[in-house]
Structure 1
Amino acid sequence: MSEIRVRLLGEFEVLRDGAVVPISAGQQRAVLATLALRAGRALDIAAITQKLWDGEPPIGAQTTVRGYVRRLRLALDGGGADSVIGTDAGGYRLKVASSDVDVHRFTGLLDRARAEHGKPNELACLEQALGCWRGEVLEGVNCEALHRSVRPALEEQRLLAVQRRLDIRIEARDSLEIVIAELRGLVIEHPLRERFWGQLMVALHRAGRSAEALREFHTCREVLVDELGVDPGAELQELHRGILLGEMESPRTNRIRQPARVG
């Protein structure tokens, strides 16, 4: 059997023995993505139809899905008896290892990073996990129900991994100017996420740029007030006060909250 890899953390892509397999039909992509997210585990055909048609499958939806699977089998391995898409328990199963799907490789590396917390290998695990990402989750897969069910959670895990990676580098004072440049981009991209603002302030302070760190606090406050009608949380205010009074020796930003949206 050929080695099949599925990449969902970015533009949808399927590789067979390292070569890209062209799958352009939108619903076929959605079926394969759905099976890949459960790599190695069977999924009932009724559950697949619910996902593809967002809870309202038309008459004959199961027959349509069977047709999609037949075409996918032909594209992936010629449709032989030992297809990588197996028929199992009234549904289908993608017969690949979890490490052959980038989503599962990403989450597995995060588990390893957590197990290595505070140890030298933690940063390497985080870097490898983040290296699995090539863009937005499920780009090129036209299935809103699938997007809603997986994209927010995976994106949050990615941001938490980015935060932890930056914490490690700030604590080690590793390439602070590069860290600062990255954080400036992150606070533009995620302006309501206080954690990134706090990390930017700490990195600037540790780089000897405390005045800039204090300015970033006021910028953050303006954003939060304008967008949510709230002030920065207590932890970020404490960080600001510590920098202002010169009392911040071992700053901690790992507890800084992300403010809840109002309304």
Structure 2
Amino acid sequence: MQFGILGALEVTDGNRQLPLRSIKQRSLLAMLLCHHGAVAHSDILIDALWGAEAGQAGNQRLRLQLHRLRRTLGAATVIEHQSTGYQLRVPPDSVDAWRFERLVREGRQALESKSLVRGSDLLRAALDMWRGPALSGLDDISFLHRQATRLDEQRLAALADRIDADLRLRRHAQLVGELSALVREHPLRERFRGQLMLALYRGGRQAEALEVYRDGRRILSKDLGLEPSLELRRLQAAILTSDSSLGAGLTGANGHAVHRRHDHRHAGGCPHCSKRAR
């Protein structure tokens, strides 16, 4: 049995997709999955599913929905009753979001050990698991909305880390299109903007890199009354002066990073690109 929440909720058994026609069943299963094997308190489930209208019948309604969910999922999927709520017991690799988080951890560990190709590949594999917005169609429940937001932030951070690795692997030419779309979609996320500036600069497009900075500065000033971050301003200054530290990150034949003494200030390519997305 496989469970997917990185997109619309789906449950598959082999090649067969199980029907979860009731919005209550889908929401209940999604909340159990988002507890990542921990106990989901009954009060939280009842409040999310029925709110104030649950009244005194809340626990009875919850037990009925759990009975229907167990019948749909079959005996192989265990939902245990605990003193405070219910616990979904499934193997870690049966939930796409859990696999995503594991692959992201492994990818970052590889990057920390300077295994850039392996790190990039692991992060790419994690990101390829996404089928659309997390928990699509269920985020009108506040708990699930918060979980969907959390997962999407993890996706964007993993994407920025993968792009950092690809920049260090001299893949800047292939990144310009992807980064241009990301900057249009997330104009206030300076990490993507800095990565696009660096990719353009390394491709010999210095003027375009500086224009990307000016566009971001205009947006921040007009919409928020802010200036770009110190990291982005430093990157702009380095591009203006063609600072040698902005040269492509060096890699050996096996994809492991090689550092030169004068590159220590920007071991990740630029001071901005090692920062988390804002």
What corresponds to 2:40 in structure 1?
43
Structure 1 residues 44-53 or 218-227, which shifts more? Answer: 44-53
Say yes or no: does 1:181 pair with 2:194.
no
Shift of 1:48: 1.7
Equivalent positions of 1:76-91 (< 5 A) are 76-77=73-74, 84-91=78-85
Farther off after superposition, 234-243 or 91-100:
91-100
Decide which of 62, 75, 100 is 2:94's aligned counterpart. 100
CA–CA separation in structure 1 for the residues paired with 2:63 and 2:189: 44
CA distance in 2, matches of 1:235, 1:56: 51
| Contact kept in structure 2, 1:6 and 1:102, CA below 8 Å | yes
1:29 equivalenced with 2:26 (yes/no): yes
**Between 110-119 and 26-35, the greater mean CA deviation after superposition:** 110-119
Aligned residues: 252
Structure 2 gaps of 5+ residues are: 247-268
What is the identity percentage for the equivalent residue pairs of Structure 1 and Structure 2?
A: 33
1:33-79 CA distances to partner (integer Å, 9 max, x unpaired)?
Answer: 111123443333223213334687533111111111111122111xx
Matched, 1:61 2:80: no
Equivalent in the alignment of 1:215 = 211
CA–CA distance in 2 between the matches of 1:128 and 1:257? 20
Shift of the alpha carbon at 1:124? 1.6
- For structure 1, the 5+ residue unaligned runs are none
Q: For residue 190 of structure 1, what is the amino acid of its counterpart?
A: H
Q: Structure 2 residue aligned with 1:9, among 6, 11, 33?
A: 6
Query: Structure 2-normalised TM-score?
Result: 0.83
Corresponding residue SS for 1:126: helix
Moved more, 203-212 or 240-249: 240-249
- What residue is the counterpart of 1:20 in the other structure? 17
Q: For 1:106, give the aligned amino acid.
A: F
Change in Cα spacing, 1:142 to 1:188, as seen in structure 2 (3 Å) is closer
Partner of 2:134 in structure 1? Answer: 137
Could you tell me whether the CA contact under 8 Å between 1:235 and 1:255 is conserved in 2? Answer: no
Deviation at 1:91, TM superposition (A): 3.0
Do the aligned residues in 2 keep the contact of 1:45 with 1:92 (CA within 8 Å)? Answer: yes
Amino acid aligned to 2:273? N
Looking at structure 2, the residues matched to 54 and 165 of structure 1 have their Cα atoms a distance apart, in angstroms, of 41
Counterpart residue type for residue 107 of structure 1: E
Over residues 144-165 of structure 1, what are the superposed CA-to-partner deviations in whole Å (9 max), with x where a residue is unaligned?
2223331222111111111111
Aligned to 2:236: 240
What amino acid is aligned across from residue 236 of structure 1 in structure 2?
L
Amino acid corresponding to residue 210 of structure 2 in structure 1? L
**Which residue is equivalent to 1:196?**
192
